[in-house]
Amino acid sequence: MDLSQVAFMDSSGINILISAYKRVGATQGWLRIAGVDDISCHPPSSRH
């Protein structure tokens, strides 16, 4: 899963990743996550 274009992720997004990880693991698969260097857990500011 390439997250290089994701700038912000809240708890809902993190829960989706956890759910996907668990579902893939249950079938003996794997989930690879890439491009997470610049993801913020803080919403972007609307100030200019």
The alpha carbon torsion through 3, 5, 40, 30 (nearest 10 deg) reads: 0
Could you give the CA distance from residue 48 to residue 40 in angstroms, rounded to a whole number?
19
Q: pLDDT tens across 1-48, in order?
A: 898 888 888 889 999 999 999 999 999 999 998 888 766 777 767 554
Q: Tell me what pLDDT residue 44 has.
A: 67
- The predicted model scores a pTM of 0.68
Q: Tell me what pLDDT residue 36 has.
A: 82
Supply φ then ψ for residue 9, to 5 degrees: -140, 125
Contact 35, 3 (CB under 8 A): yes
